[in-house]
């Protein structure tokens, strides 16, 4: 990536108080971008947003993506050149309990965002973050490519498939005529990293249990997912946006960002290796208490990003798990986790900067 591209650039990030959004804003502010964020208050306590003092380097606006008027006014005031849309109800299990909210936030929230962009002349490039779960999952061992059918069994996954369709319609209907705004989508795998405390996610579940001195209870030890460190996906997003700025027509498309095949592992592998990095921790398999469908196998084919963006993962899963254990240890030991986050970012950026 090219750090100079981001220096002084005005970037609008939705979902900046969340796990991925916080890392993204830390990175963008470190690069010298002028960042405005729009999201609800952090949903978890603790949160990376508060722990790493993310708000200090940016203009943080608390607002609901369903409030189109406020969203538009905030965007018009920020005059962004780049928009990165991450605000979402991001949890599969929550979506079974709150399907209407999930569709309202994820699908209509994206419609609201695109409508706001239509009235904001400064915007040149937009990246909408969906998910690897947007594909119609056929439980196969071959990775999905970008042109395969959208689907989604549960409301969360399906809302991300719907979001992809919304973006596609807006791109063709409103943004393609004069190529004034380039709109792309990114489908990343399961991202992991320090500072995630979301419910029902593997790494946060382990950290909560281990910190409490308890064994962690694992639901689906055989489930295979494309795991990757959060900075890998964010690097893909930033690189894609740099390309979109240069050649909007060629890059305003859908993109997969996932790990090397060797890092598409099952849950038991992740747990076993994280336990080694944490030390003095244990786990067991949860008895089958409820029958909520979760996909068994999910792989992404990322050859398009590798070939056309020259993007590839910079660190392997083993190093990612080491960094994550260090991050949470630092937090619970009350050391300077903001500084550690900056250091991890700098180390990673050194690996991906030309
Ligand atoms: N974490 C992953 O493994 C993963 C994988 C694939 C895709 N994604 C996608 O990446 C994006 C970020 O995920 P995350 O892990 O950081 O999730 P997160 O839950 O940590 O953060 C979600 C963000 O969206 C905001 N938000 C939620 N509802 C809102 C509303 N009504 N109005 C305004 N803001 C609202 C929250 O305030 C928060 O800032 C989401 O779109 C998610 O679907 C995440």
Percentage of the chain exceeding pLDDT 70: 98
* pLDDT recorded at residue 178: 66
Sequence spans of domains, the chain: 3-352
What is the rounded CA–CA span in Å between residue 188 and residue 300? 8
Whether residue 106 has its Cβ less than 6 Å from ligand 1? no
Give the confidence band of 179 by pLDDT, cuts at 50, 70, 90. low
Ligand 1 atom closest to the Cα of residue 105 is 31
Ligand 1 atom closest to the Cα of residue 160 is 43
Quick check: pTM over 0.85?
Answer: yes
With the most atoms of ligand 1 within 8 angstroms of its CB, the residue from 38, 55, 58, 87 to mutate is 87
Cα atoms in the Cβ-side hemisphere of radius 13 Å centred on 302: 28
Whether residue 107 has its Cβ less than 6 Å from ligand 1? no
Cα atoms in the Cβ-side hemisphere of radius 13 Å centred on 329: 12
pLDDT (tens digit, 9 = 90+) per residue, 122-133?
Answer: 999 999 999 999
User: DSSP secondary-structure letter at 286?
Assistant: P
The Cβ of residue 333 has, within 10 Å, a number of other Cβ atoms equal to 8
CATH dotted code for 3-352: 3.40.50.720
Whether residue 88 has its Cβ less than 6 Å from ligand 1? yes
Question: Exposed, middle or buried, 259 (CB in 10 Å: 0-12/13-18/19+)?
Answer: buried
Residue of 84, 74, 36 whose CA lies nearest to 58: 36
H helix runs in the chain, sequence order: 3-6, 19-30, 48-51, 68-78, 92-97, 99-103, 109-118, 155-170, 202-211, 230-246, 248-251, 267-278, 303-309, 317-332, 337-352
Residue count (the chain)? 354
Ligand 1 atom closest to the Cα of residue 41 is 37
């Amino acid at each position: 990536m090219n750090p100079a591209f981001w220096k002084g650039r005005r970037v609008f990030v939705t979902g900046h108080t969340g796990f991925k959004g916080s890392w993204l804003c830390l990175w963008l502010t470190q690069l010298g971008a002028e960042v405005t964020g729009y999201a609800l208050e952090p949903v978890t306590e603790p949160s990376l947003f508060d722990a790493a003092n993310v708000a200090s380097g940016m203009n943080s606006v608390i607002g609901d993506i369903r409030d189109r008027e406020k969203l538009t006014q905030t965007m018009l005031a920020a005059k962004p050149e780049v928009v990165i849309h991450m605000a979402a109800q991001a949890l599969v299990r929550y979506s079974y309990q709150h399907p209407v909210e999930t569709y309202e936030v994820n699908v209509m929230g994206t419609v609201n965002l695109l409508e706001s962009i239509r009235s904001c002349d400064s915007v040149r490039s937009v990246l909408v973050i969906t998910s690897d779960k947007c594909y119609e999952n056929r439980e196969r061992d071959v990775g999905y490519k970008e042109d395969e059918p959208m689907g989604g069994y549960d409301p969360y996954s399906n809302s991300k498939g719907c979001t992809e369709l919304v973006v596609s319609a807006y791109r063709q209907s409103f943004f393609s005529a004069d190529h004034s705004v380039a709109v792309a989508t990114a489908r990343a795998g399961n991202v992991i990293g320090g500072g995630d405390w979301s419910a029902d996610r593997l790494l946060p579940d382990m950290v909560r249990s281990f910190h409490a001195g308890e064994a962690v209870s694992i639901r689906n030890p055989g489930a295979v997912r494309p795991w990757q460190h959060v900075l890998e996906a964010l690097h893909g997003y930033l690189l894609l946006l740099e390309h979109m700025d240069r050649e909007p027509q060629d890059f305003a498309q859908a993109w997969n960002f996932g790990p090397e095949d060797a890092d598409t592992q099952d849950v038991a592998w992740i747990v076993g290796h994280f336990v080694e990095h944490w030390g003095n921790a244990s786990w067991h398999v949860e008895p089958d208490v409820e029958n909520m469908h979760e996909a068994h196998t999910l792989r992404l084919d990322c050859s398009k990003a590798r070939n056309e963006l020259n993007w590839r993962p910079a660190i392997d899963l083993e190093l990612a798990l080491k960094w994550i254990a260090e991050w949470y240890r630092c937090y619970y030991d009350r050391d300077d986790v903001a500084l550690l986050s900056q250091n991890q970012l700098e180390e990673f950026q050194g690996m991906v900067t030309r």
